[in-house]
Amino acid sequence: MRGGKPAARRLMEGETLLISITLEPGADSPIDATALSHLLRKHPGRLQTFELPVGNAHVFYPEYSPQRTTAVLLLEVDAIGLVRNKRFRGDNGVLDYYINDRPYTASSLLAVALGRVLRNAMTPTSEAYPELADTPLPLRLVVPVISTRGRDGHDLAERLFAPLGWTIEQRPIALDEMYPLWEDSRYSSLVLTGSAPLHVALRQLYVLLPVLDDSKHYWVSDDEAEKLVRQGEGWLPGHPERALISHRYLAHQKDLVAAADTRIAGESTASVESTTPLPPSPGASAGASVQPLRVQRAEAVLTALKDCGARQVVDVGSGSGALLRRMRKDGFFTRILGTDVSARSLEQAARVMNVDELADTDRARITLLHSSVLYRDERIAGFDAAVLMEVIEHIEPSRLSALEDSIFAGAAPANVIVTTPNSEYNHLYPALAHGGMRHDDHRFEWTRAEFTQWAEGVAERHGYGVEYRPVGETSLSSGAPTQMAIFRKAGA
């Protein structure tokens, strides 16, 4: 963290990470440019400072008049604290080093500061200027340093912002101005000019700055998919680079990308069924929003666990912790174990749950283990229930017998909960090719009859009874998108 120089002076010297927003209506416009301060909800008469986990953010106005008003969001990054804090980890190794480009180039750090400090301005409301809150305004957005990381190179800003109506002025930054024959660096300055509602412009920056950099300083969990859908509302669905935006924003995690794209494209369970002549779900109110399927699935598993009275639970193939996070927040569960064959997924789960920052009592409830579902592991024995949520379809069919042996014969919990896609439902997804699977990593997807046949065989061989529950909005002809089996050991 720097000290001693006023923030405005450091801005002029070009030493800090910032965004400037200028409203200049023009001589013939009735708009007063000072309205920008009201739309941003930040007072123009003083420097305002906000403490963030990564440093300090400042908001100030270097120019303020009815003809032209400029607001600046400046972020001073605590580079040393960023590297030392275990909460912050990028996916490209930048934060492994104390000397890095994070304090200077626009990235997820600046996007998070934007979301925290200007959160209220990212909504289409204003008490002082309600007529301007959702009105296109002549704006000039300046980001002095952006990264042009990766093979997409220097044309990526054009591909991201031009389809949104922005005029782009991008200038490469010399590697060293003293040596003009050297090639340019991988950094550029970016100026966007155009007409857009302020809240839309801010939401576009919030999403696209991390996309330009293709890195995030924190672990990306399923919450990020929700965030992308929410901040991309109104401009992302029709963007020609939507696939690239989703992959980069969600750190190239296929499951999160699929979940976000399904909702962004209007291909969620609710919208798919709204295009078919099906009756509404029992008890559903008109216009009621439907939770994403992955959320419904996790909630259905929690309900099943409680119905079984299972307080001590092992989540086998826990991934990045979508179910673990929910169990951690629920005091019903007294002992929680997450296992996965991927060490990186376990690290992500630990970050998602902030394990290092939990109180001792909460930390004692949670254990994460590197383990394979295909081999017996005595460490997962002795639990009330084992959960395999969207796991079995990732296993080669020839190896399902090994999974059966490790879980139902080896660990042998009183209850086992298994969820898997229902392939009969796939035809209701318009973007899914006929006979295609929902994820590239799936080895199979079963019909309801095929799942029942497998489950009944497992139950009979190991002394369990089995109950089936649908998860998600149900089609009369195709069933629900996810099928669940709840195995209960006889006499338990």
At residue 217 the predicted structure's pLDDT band, cuts being 50, 70 and 90, is low
Q: What is the pLDDT of residues 298-314, one digit of tens each?
A: 999 999 999 999 999 99
At residue 470 the predicted structure's pLDDT band, cuts being 50, 70 and 90, is very high
Asked if residue 285 has pLDDT above 70, the reply is no
Q: What is the pLDDT of residue 413?
A: 97
At residue 397 the predicted structure's pLDDT band, cuts being 50, 70 and 90, is very high
Q: What is the pLDDT of residue 409?
A: 96
Q: How many CB atoms lie within 10 A of CB 421?
A: 23
Amino acid of residue 297: R
At residue 263 the predicted structure's pLDDT band, cuts being 50, 70 and 90, is low
Q: What is the pLDDT of residue 218?
A: 60
Query: Are the beta carbons of 288 and 274 closer than 8 angstroms?
Result: no
Q: What is the pLDDT of residue 322?
A: 86
Q: What is the pLDDT of residue 171?
A: 87
Q: Please give the DSSP secondary-structure letter assigned to residue 346.
A: H
Across 263-273, average pLDDT: 44
In 68-213 the beta strands, taken as DSSP E runs, fall at 69-77, 137-147, 167-174, 184-196
Across 337-365, average pLDDT: 82
Q: What is the pLDDT of residues 430-466, one digit of tens each?
A: 666 666 788 777 889 999 999 999 999 999 999 999 9
Selected residue with higher pLDDT from 222 and 88: 222
Across 342-373, b (16+ Cβ under 10 Å) vs e yields eeebbbbbbbbbebeeeeeebeebbebeebeb
Query: Are the beta carbons of 428 and 276 closer than 8 angstroms?
Result: yes
Nearest to 227 by CA among 252, 249, 210: 249
Across 355-372, average pLDDT: 85
Entry pTM: 0.54
CA distances from 371 to 345, 353, 368, 374, 393 (A): 12, 19, 9, 9, 18
Averaged pLDDT score across all residues of the chain: 82
Query: Are the beta carbons of 231 and 203 closer than 8 angstroms?
Result: yes
